[in-house]
Amino acid sequence: EVQLVETGGSLVQPGKSLKLTCATSGFTFSNAWMHWVRQSPEKQLEWVAQIKAKSNNYATYYAESVKGRFTISRDDSKSSVYLQMNSLKEEDTAIYYCTLQLAHWGQGVMVTVSS
Amino acid sequence: DVVMTQTPLSLPISLGDQASFSCRSSQSLLHSNGNTYLAWYLQKSGLSPQILIYRISNRFSGVPDRFSGSGSGTDFTLKISRVEPEDLGVYYCLQHTHLPYTFGAGTKLELK
């Protein structure tokens, strides 16, 4: 069974950093393309970032709204994907979901950016 | 960015009725590889989105056959043949042909 478990959500001040972790199991992680998607308090879903597999040179892609501030990475030895979020803004407040190929989703983790 | 427009915003329905959801994209979702990456999701209250349909019309594993997807190019439809209580929630479409990938705003399926 595919499992995706996000951790690392928190209340953080604007301008600070936070790192989310998605621990996975139940599939061959090293071959998987992984994504982060977020959902605003207004319930709008927004794709955030993607990382491809080693065979695709770990290519990464980002939404314009997070480019230069967020970094997606992975550790195939730990079957985990990460989202490093720097220079956080209030508009980054959302539930962050880790997804396997946009098909399987984790339960999500809340990030609140507020002073 | 590709804009995904879902209509209606809300769909009041009676159990057992057919439901139809529309999703239109601002440009064709046909990829150069011949596939069209349009998916449908249902988000029930308090839960993560769950995939129903991928590549326009393919039901994901375990999805009942009362769900069907159709369309091409820029115009897509999700239908539920007979709505059951567990089908209530918000339906989203997603295009992942063009970066950045984009979602529609959702259609809320609720009881009349």
A107 interaction partners in chain B (CB closer than 8 Å): 48
- A63 and B105 within 8 Å at the Cβ level: the answer is no
> How large is the average pLDDT for residues B12-21?
97
The shares of helix, strand and coil residues in chain A, as percent rounded to the nearest 5, are: 10, 50, 40
CA–CA gap between residue B107 and residue B104 (Å, rounded): 9
Q: Give the pLDDT confidence of B45-91 residue by residue, as tens digits.
A: 999 999 999 999 999 999 999 999 999 999 999 999 999 999 999 99
pLDDT at position A95 is: 98
CB pairs under 8 A between A and B: 42
- Shortest CA distance to A99 belongs to which of A28, A59, A49, A62? A49
Distance from CA of B109 to the nearest CA of A (A): 15
Distances (CA, A) of A57 to A1, A81, A82, A111, B1: 27, 15, 17, 29, 25
Per residue of chain A (115 residues), give pLDDT as tens. Answer: 999 999 999 999 999 999 999 999 999 999 999 999 999 999 999 999 999 999 999 999 999 999 999 999 999 999 999 999 999 999 999 999 999 999 999 999 999 999 9
Distance from CA of A78 to the nearest CA of B (A): 24
CA–CA gap between residue B65 and residue B84 (Å, rounded): 12
Q: Which residue of A has its CA nearest to B101?
A: A47
The letter for the amino acid at B6 is: Q
pLDDT at position B67 is: 98
Q: Give the pLDDT confidence of B92-102 residue by residue, as tens digits.
A: 999 999 999 99
